[in-house]
Amino acid sequence: MKGKEELERILARIDGKGYKSYKDIQGSYLFDTYTLHIDHVQGDPFAAPSRLRVRVDQRYARIPADFYNTPVRRVACADFLTRGFARAIEQVVGGRRGTGKSGLISIDHCGQEILERTAMVVTGEYVEARFVLGFPARGRTVLGKQARVMLFEELPAVVEASLFYKNIDGKSLRKHVEAKEDQDYLRSKLTEHNLVAFIANGSVLPRQSGISDRPLRGEGVVSFVSPPELAVEITLPNAGPVKGMGIPRGVTLIVGGGYHGKSTLLKALERGVYDHIPGDGREMVVTLDTAVKIRAEDGRRVEKVDISPFINNLPNNQDTVNFSTPNASGSTSQAANIMEALEVGAKVLLMDEDTSATNFMIRDVRMQRLVAKEKEPITPFIDKVRQLWLELGVSTVLVLGGSGDYFDVADTIIMMDSYRPRQVTEIAKGIALEFTTARHAEGGSRFGRIKERIPLPSGLEPIRGGKIKLQARGLHSIQYGSWDIDLSGVEQLVDSSQTRAIGEIIHYAARNYLNGRTTLRQALEQVERDIEKEGLDVISPFYGQHPGDFARSRPLEVAAAINRLRGLSVR
């Protein structure tokens, strides 16, 4: 390994030369208290920035082992250090120097959720930060002196401030770690308490705006308080007893007037599959990690999905047992979304009538009288939701504001009244008895089967123009070879680093497991085992070097992306 003095000499030698001279500094260099790995150097100041790693031996970092001695604590500790590294960059780095990405130092951005990321690694031997850096240039000329400032003055200050325990707020780190541990424990206890979700008293559910995921602040904010009938108390390993509202398994309706907090509660439940940072307001809102938000998604492609539990007898004798279309309607897309989620293990469906196809959700008695069942291919969800629960053990949480017919099939009904929940099951059931609808159930005696599909290798290689082309474009789009995967309808993705990881996971699964004999669920389970064993690094094309911008998602979101790949072919 080279000493840092060699790096200084190279920077002095290439100062003023063409930008490609920066390739000479690629390698590893020993600094006083850490090792700097320059894994990849960009070929142009306007190209993607260079990939670097800093590895600090625990002899110097001295992060106490009890902050990372379990998988849950390790993820929380790494998340905290990543955020600290990002703050230190803001405080130390002077900004861009030169053209393009010159002068940039950046690490993967963290949001309100605590996610497993590849940006930071914490072990008993070392702490490693993975980040990107834009080597400075004027035009395409190396600015060696400015590069030296970045690598020998700014970067050491960032490392010193964020990766050495003596300079870290230990109390905040402990709070961060214990908060995630408590949330993970709370989620693990839901099934034991016969719940699908839990919302602690005092939680702040609303967000600042539609483009900000931070909690709403101010005098008008209403903190969450459980109705007495649904109150639950669970003792956590760190915070002790916590009280709040438990949402039971089965069929739950969330009702109420417009702007009273129905969709806000559902959104919190959607995000409850993730753990949140302290102070988020939703750090004690947890949902079973098999919960999936379902919506209508006009225009999406569907590939050989058995939607026959919901849709049959389509015109022109179109097959609904192996239903395929390049341009699904609202009802067929919602049916496919449900069946695809069930195929890979979903046990809770989260739905909002505002984003659902009306004809998929309900067919009232008047419409039944006008349009005979033999002329209507759709079996509405109202006639299948109890079968899902009683036969398959799949619960549903449904936001409703317009259809009281669902009172007949619900187990629990919660009304949001000025952002406060009330348990109104008995009242609603009484109304249902008083105002009977006389509609006929159309669901048949059984729900129907869940058919598992086998993806074929053809169409799964991300090749375009003879080269691998695989790139995430923000949160909701992946370029995968010649195809663009549209994830705008996959509402539980929260971070673009998850989207990047999903693209690589699809490619990894295609190379290793999607061989034309393995079902989609089996392949994703094997990928999960690999990640558990080797870490999220295992999916990276830079394995062993710098996979610093991935965040873990659930197999449910990976499956959703595969199902939206227009090159997908299944048996």
User: Three-state SS string across 106-160, please?
Assistant: ECCCCCCEECCECCEEECCCEEEEEEEECCCEECCEECHHHHHHHHHHHHHHHHH
Q: How far apart (Å, rounded) are the C-alpha atoms in residues 347 and 556?
A: 11
Residues 57, 178, single domain; the answer is: no
Written as one string, the DSSP assignment of 230-257 is GEEEEEETTTEEEEEEEEESSEEEEE-S
Same domain, 145 and 229: no
**DSSP 8-state code for residue 224:** P
332/217 same-domain check: yes
| 94 and 14 in a common domain | yes
Distance CA 511, CA 17 (A): 41
Dihedral (CA of 519, 520, 522, 523) sign: positive
pLDDT average, residue stretch 489-513: 97
Tally Cβ neighbours within 10 Å of residue 238: 13
- Asked if residue 469 and residue 440 are part of one domain, the reply reads no
Give the number of other Cβ atoms within 10 Å of residue 92's Cβ: 18
Q: What is the pLDDT of residue 313?
A: 86
| Structural domain includes residue 513 | yes
Confidence at 110, pLDDT banded by 50, 70, 90: very high
What is the residue type of 272? G
pLDDT of residue 98 exceeding 90, the answer is no
pTM listed for this prediction: 0.95
123 shares its domain with 193: no
Whether residue 238 lies inside any domain: the answer is: yes
Other beta carbons within 10 angstroms of residue 191's beta carbon come to 12
* CA 174/CA 439 separation, integer angstroms: 57
381 in any annotated domain: yes
Of all helices (H) and strands (E), which one includes residue 555?
helix 555-563
Residue 367 and residue 388 in one domain? yes
- Name which of 138, 143, 158, 142 is nearest 98 in CA terms: 138
Residue 570, SS3? strand
Q: Pick the last residue of a domain from 411, 426, 451.
A: 451
**pLDDT beyond 70 at 95:** no
Last residue of a domain, one of 402, 421, 451: 451
CATH of the domain at 218: 3.40.50.300
Interval 70-79 mean pLDDT: 98
> How does pLDDT run across 208-217, given as a tens digit for each residue?
988 888 999 9
- Residue 305 structure tokens: 């999905």
User: Using CA of residue 182, residue 183, residue 188, residue 190, what is the dihedral sign?
Assistant: positive
| Residue 435 near residue 296, CB atoms below 8 Å | no
- Mean pLDDT to the nearest integer, 228-248: 98
- pLDDT recorded at residue 314: 87
Distance, CA of 55 to CA of 476 (rounded, Å): 32
d(C-alpha 50, C-alpha 44), whole Å: 10
In a domain, 570, yes or no: no
**Is residue 54 within 8 Å of 32, Cβ to Cβ?**
no
Comparing CA positions, the residue from 456, 552, 427, 464 lying closest to residue 72 is 552
User: Is residue 432, in this structure, part of any structural domain at all?
Assistant: yes
Pair (148, 78) in one structural domain: yes
What would you measure as the largest C-alpha separation in the chain, in angstroms? 88
The answer to whether residue 204 scores a pLDDT higher than 90 is yes
Which two structure tokens, joined as six digits, stand for 58? 């625990």
Q: Mark which of 135, 168, 201 sits at the end of a domain.
A: 168
397 has a pLDDT exceeding 80 = yes
Average pLDDT, the chain: 95
Domain count, the chain: 3
Residue 543 is predicted with a pLDDT of 54
pLDDT of residue 474: 95
Distance, CA of 59 to chain centre: 35
Residue 542 confidence (pLDDT): 65
- The predicted pLDDT at position 219 comes to 84
Answer yes or no: is 569 within a domain.
Answer: no
Three-state SS for 275? Answer: strand
pLDDT in tens, 460-492: 999 888 898 999 999 999 999 999 999 999 999
Residue range 347-389, pLDDT digits in tens: 999 999 999 999 999 999 999 999 988 889 999 999 999 999 9
Residues 197 and 154 reside in one and the same domain: no
Please give the Cα distance from 196 to 416 (Å, whole number): 18
489 and 442 in a common domain: no
Which residues are CB-neighbours of 436 under 8 A, at least 6 positions away? none
Q: What are the CA-CA distances from residue 417 to residues 116, 118, 255, 494, 565 (Å)?
A: 37, 43, 9, 28, 41
Residues 440 and 539 in one domain: no
Domain span at residue 181? 174-451
How many CB atoms lie under 10 A from the CB of residue 172? 13
Residue 406 predicted with pLDDT over 80 = yes
In the predicted model, is pLDDT for residue 439 greater than 80?
yes
Residues 420/262, Cβ–Cβ less than 8 Å: no
How large is the angle between the packed helices 71-92 and 155-163, nearest 10 degrees? 140
CA quadruple 347, 510, 304, 289: dihedral, nearest 10: 10
Whose tokens are 């082992």? That residue is: 65
458 located within any domain: no
Query: Where do the DSSP E strands lie in 277-432?
Result: 285-287, 291-294, 302-305, 323-325, 348-352, 395-399, 412-417, 420-423
Region of residue 120 (phi > 0: left; psi between -120 and 50: alpha; otherwise: beta): beta
The radius of gyration of the chain's CA atoms, rounded to the nearest angstrom, is 26
Three-state secondary structure call for residue 298: coil
Give yes or no: residues 436 and 482 share one domain: no
Tens digit of each residue's pLDDT (9 = 90 or more) over 535-565: 999 998 765 566 899 999 999 999 999 999 9
Per DSSP, 491 falls in state T
Residue 144 lies inside a defined structural domain of this protein:
yes
Assign 536 to helix, strand or coil: helix
- For residue 395, the one-letter residue type is S
Helix axis angle for 555-563 and 330-343, nearest 10°, is 140
CA distance 550 to 540: 9
| Rounded-to-integer distance, Cα 369 and Cα 363, Å | 10
Contacts of 423 (CB under 8 A, 6+ apart): 227, 228, 229, 230, 412, 413, 414, 415
The 10s digit of each residue's pLDDT in 279-327 is 999 999 999 999 999 999 999 999 999 999 999 988 878 899 999 999 9
